[in-house]
C-alpha cells in the first residue's frame, strides 16, 4: 500500500478547513440579517409528537409593539428546514415564523390519514391549531406576539393543511396557499368516497364564510396538481383572490420558486395586519444568496470531511498492513495492491478494451434497472440490486469452479484474505470515517437549521435495511467490477476521481427512471447522500483495498438517512404509490 503524504494531508486539511470556516461565516452573516436564533419545539397533536422550528425576528417593528406570527407548512414529503424562503424573508420584516412538520413528516410522528380519537377530526386539520394551543401558553407568545396577527402559509399538501386548519380555527386571520391540494381524488389517499376523512377535504369543507382573507397562488401548468381541478375550484367555492403564474419556473412549476410569489405573499400579510404595504419598507429578497452560501458551506464541509478521513488513514492502516505483509512472505495469497497493477505497461488496444468493458458494464447495470422498473415500478430499487448481487456471485462461483482444485496452502491463503478483511484497524478506520462524516453533518445541520435527517423511531431504522441491497450492489459494481478495469490509470487518486464521475452519471440515469419518486425530499436527500457515500468509499477503498471497510461505511450512514426517509414514505404510502 502506498502511504499517504502527511505534509500534503496537513495542507489539504488546513485549506479545506479554512474554506469551510469562511463560507460558514458568510452564511451566518447572511442569516443574521433575518434571524439570530431559532428554537426547536416539541408538542402533541392527535396523539402524536410533532416538531417545529420557531424563528425569532432580528428587528422590532417601529409602528407597533408586538410582532405578527406566520405558520409555514411545507409540501408533501418535505420537512420544516428544507424550504427556507418563508423563515428567511419574513423574519427580517419583523415576523415570528414557525415551520411545522405536520403528521408523518420530518421528525414528527403520526400519519397523514390519522384521525384524532377525541374529536373525530383528521389530525392534519388540527396540527397548526394544536401548535398554537401549545404556543399560546409560552412567555414568548404572551409578551411578543400579537394574537390578532396570526397567519398561515402552506405549499402543496401543506396548502391543504392550512386550508383545513384555517377553516376550523378563527384564530388564524389570514391564509396564503402555494399550489394547494384542494380537490383530491379519495383514491389518491387510498380512501373510499364515504370515508370520514373526505368530509374535511378543502373542496368539501371550505365556504366563503370560513375562508376570510385567503390568497392563492397556482401555476397554470402545474405538473403535479392540476390548475383547474384545484386552483379554480378553490376560487369558485371561496371567492378568494387567485394569482396565476404562467412563466416557466426553475426545477418545477409546482414548487413556485418565484420572487413574484414570495413578494405577493409578504404584501398580502402586511396589508391585512398593518393596513399598509408601504409602512414596513421595500422588500429585498436574499433567500437565493442563502442557498448559494449553503451550497458552498456544505461542499466545503464535504471536502473538509474527506481531508480528515485521508489524513487519518496513516494512523489506522499502514503500519499494521506493513507488519502483516512481513509475516506473510507469499503476498500472492492476499489481494494484489493497486500499485502492483499500475506498474504494468498497458497496450493502447488493452486500454480501449477496458473502456469498452466499462461501458458494457454500465449499460448492463442500467438495463437491469430499466427492465425491472417497467414491470415492478418502485420495487425495482430492491429487486434489481438483488438480481445483480446474485449474478455477481454466480459469476464468481463459475470462475472459482473453473480453477484446479485448490491445495491446502491456497486454502490457507483465502483464510488469510478473510482474516485481513476483518483486521481491527481496517474496521476501525471505516467506523472512524462514518462517525466523522455523520458528526460533521449533524453539527452543521443542528447549528444551522437545514436538512436535519434522523429516524423518528426504531421501526423505521429496521425497515431501512430493505434498501441496503441497492448500496451493496453499487459497492460491488464500483469496487469489484469497475475499479479493477481502471488499472490502466497510473494514479490511485485519479482512479478515485474517475469512479466519482462515473457514479454521478450513474445516479443521474437512475433518477431519470422515476423522477416523481424524488418529490419525497427525504428520498432525494438519501439518494444524494448515497452518492456522497460512494465517493467517500472510493477514498476509503483506495487507502485500504478492503471491501469490508466500504460495506461498514455504507451500512452505518445509509441506515440513518434512509431510516428518516422510510418514516415519511410510510406516512404518504397510499398517496405516493397511487400518484406514481
Give me the pLDDT at residue 576, please: 62
Q: Which three cell numbers stand for residue 576?
A: 405516493
SS3 at position 517: helix
**Cα 173 from Cα 178, distance rounded (Å):** 17
**Cα 90 from Cα 84, distance rounded (Å):** 10
Radius of gyration of the chain (CA): 27
Give me the pLDDT at residue 420, please: 58
Give me the pLDDT at residue 338, please: 42
Q: Which three cell numbers stand for residue 409?
A: 496452502
Q: Which three cell numbers stand for residue 111?
A: 400519519
Give me the pLDDT at residue 341, please: 44
Residues 539 and 493 sit within 8 Å (Cβ to Cβ): no
Q: What is the pLDDT along the chain (580 residues), one digit of tens a residue?
A: 445 556 667 888 888 889 888 988 988 888 888 998 999 999 999 999 999 999 999 999 999 999 999 999 999 889 999 999 999 999 999 999 999 999 999 889 999 999 999 999 999 999 999 999 999 999 999 999 999 999 999 999 999 999 999 999 999 999 999 999 999 999 888 889 999 999 999 999 999 999 989 999 999 999 889 999 999 999 999 999 999 999 999 888 999 999 999 999 999 999 999 999 999 999 999 999 999 999 999 999 999 998 998 888 877 755 555 454 444 444 443 344 443 444 455 677 788 888 899 999 989 888 888 888 777 776 777 888 999 999 999 988 887 777 666 544 454 455 555 665 667 778 888 889 999 999 999 989 888 899 888 887 788 888 888 888 888 898 899 988 998 888 888 777 788 888 889 889 888 888 887 777 777 777 788 888 888 888 888 888 888 878 888 888 888 888 888 888 887 877 776 666 655 5
Give me the pLDDT at residue 415, please: 57
Strand 96-101 relative to strand 67-73: parallel, antiparallel, unpaired? parallel
Residues 109 and 456 sit within 8 Å (Cβ to Cβ): yes
**Cα 87 from Cα 82, distance rounded (Å):** 10
Give me the pLDDT at residue 402, please: 73
Give me the pLDDT at residue 575, please: 64
Q: How many CB atoms lie within 10 A of CB 556?
A: 17
Give me the pLDDT at residue 564, please: 84
SS3 at position 117: coil
**Cα 36 from Cα 159, distance rounded (Å):** 28
Domain with CATH 3.40.50.1820 in the chain: 39-285
Residues 483 and 578 sit within 8 Å (Cβ to Cβ): no
CATH assignment of 39-285?
A: 3.40.50.1820
Per-residue DSSP letter, 109 = -
Angle, helices 521-544 vs 547-571, to 10°: value is 180
Backbone angles phi, psi at 153, to 5 degrees: -130, 130
Give me the pLDDT at residue 346, please: 61
**Cα 527 from Cα 547, distance rounded (Å):** 21
Amino acid at each position: 500500500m502506498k502511504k499517504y503524504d502527511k505534509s500534503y494531508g496537513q495542507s489539504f486539511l488546513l485549506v479545506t478547513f479554512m474554506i469551510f470556516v469562511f463560507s460558514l461565516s458568510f452564511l451566518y452573516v447572511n442569516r443574521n440579517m433575518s434571524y439570530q436564533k431559532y428554537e426547536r419545539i416539541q408538542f402533541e397533536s392527535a396523539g402524536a409528537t410533532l416538531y417545529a422550528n420557531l424563528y425569532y425576528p432580528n428587528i422590532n417593528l417601529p409602528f407597533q409593539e408586538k410582532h405578527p406570527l406566520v405558520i409555514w407548512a411545507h409540501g408533501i414529503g418535505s420537512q420544516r428546514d428544507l424550504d427556507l424562503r418563508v423563515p428567511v424573508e419574513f423574519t427580517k420584516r419583523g415576523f415570528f415564523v414557525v415551520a411545522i412538520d405536520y403528521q408523518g413528516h420530518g421528525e414528527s410522528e403520526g400519519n397523514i390519514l390519522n384521525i384524532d380519537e377525541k374529536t373525530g377530526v383528521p389530525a392534519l386539520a388540527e396540527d397548526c391549531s394544536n401548535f398554537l394551543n401549545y404556543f399560546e401558553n409560552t412567555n414568548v407568545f404572551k409578551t411578543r406576539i400579537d394574537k390578532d396577527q396570526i397567519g398561515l402559509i402552506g405549499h402543496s399538501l401543506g396548502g391543504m393543511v392550512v386550508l383545513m386548519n384555517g377553516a376550523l380555527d378563527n384564530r388564524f386571520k389570514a391564509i396564503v396557499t402555494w399550489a394547494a391540494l384542494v380537490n383530491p381524488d379519495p383514491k389518491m389517499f387510498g380512501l373510499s368516497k364515504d370515508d370520514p376523512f373526505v368530509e374535511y377535504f378543502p373542496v368539501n369543507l371550505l365556504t366563503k364564510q370560513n375562508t376570510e382573507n385567503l390568497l392563492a397562488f397556482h401555476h397554470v401548468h402545474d405538473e403535479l396538481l392540476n390548475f383547474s381541478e384545484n386552483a379554480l375550484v378553490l376560487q369558485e367555492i371561496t371567492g378568494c383572490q387567485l394569482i396565476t403564474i404562467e412563466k416557466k419556473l426553475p426545477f418545477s412549476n409546482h414548487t413556485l420558486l418565484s420572487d413574484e410569489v414570495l413578494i405577493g405573499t409578504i404584501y398580502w400579510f402586511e396589508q391585512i395586519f398593518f393596513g399598509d404595504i408601504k409602512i414596513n419598507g421595500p422588500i429585498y429578497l436574499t433567500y437565493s444568496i442563502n442557498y448559494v452560501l449553503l451550497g458552498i458551506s456544505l461542499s466545503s464541509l464535504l471536502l473538509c470531511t474527506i481531508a480528515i478521513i485521508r489524513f487519518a488513514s496513516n494512523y489506522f492502516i499502514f503500519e499494521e498492513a506493513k507488519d502483516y505483509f512481513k509475516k506473510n512472505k507469499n503476498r500472492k495469497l492476499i489481494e494484489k495492491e493497486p500499485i502492483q497493477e499500475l506498474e504494468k505497461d498497458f497496450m493502447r488496444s488493452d486500454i480501449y478494451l477496458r473502456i469498452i468493458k466499462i461501458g458494457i458494464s454500465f449499460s448492463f447495470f442500467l438495463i437491469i434497472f430499466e427492465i425491472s422498473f417497467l414491470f415492478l415500478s418502485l420495487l425495482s430499487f430492491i429487486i434489481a440490486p438483488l438480481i445483480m448481487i446474485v449474478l455477481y456471485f454466480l459469476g464468481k462461483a463459475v470462475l472459482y469452479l473453473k480453477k484446479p482444485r485448490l491445495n491446502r496452502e491456497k486454502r490457507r491463503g483465502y483464510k488469510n484474505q478473510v482474516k485481513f478483511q476483518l483486521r481491527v484497524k481496517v474496521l476501525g478506520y471505516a467506523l472512524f470515517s462514518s462517525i466523522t462524516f455523520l458528526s460533521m453533518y449533524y453539527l452543521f445541520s443542528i447549528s444551522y437549521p437545514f436538512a436535519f435527517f434522523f429516524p423518528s423511531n426504531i421501526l423505521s431504522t429496521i425497515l431501512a435495511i430493505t434498501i441496503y441491497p441497492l448500496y451493496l450492489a453499487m459497492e460491488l459494481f464500483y469496487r469489484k467490477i469497475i475499479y479493477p478495469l481502471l488499472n490502466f490509470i497510473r494514479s490511485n487518486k485519479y482512479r478515485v476521481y474517475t469512479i466519482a464521475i462515473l457514479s454521478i452519471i450513474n445516479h443521474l440515469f437512475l433518477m431519470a427512471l422515476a423522477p416523481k419518486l424524488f418529490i419525497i425530499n427525504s428520498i432525494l436527500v438519501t439518494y444524494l447522500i448515497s452518492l456522497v457515500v460512494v465517493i467517500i468509499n472510493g477514498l476509503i477503498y483506495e487507502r485500504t483495498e478492503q471491501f469490508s471497510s466500504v460495506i461498514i461505511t455504507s451500512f452505518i450512514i445509509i441506515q440513518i438517512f434512509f431510516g428518516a426517509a422510510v418514516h415519511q414514505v410510510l406516512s404518504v404510502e397510499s398517496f405516493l404509490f397511487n400518484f406514481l
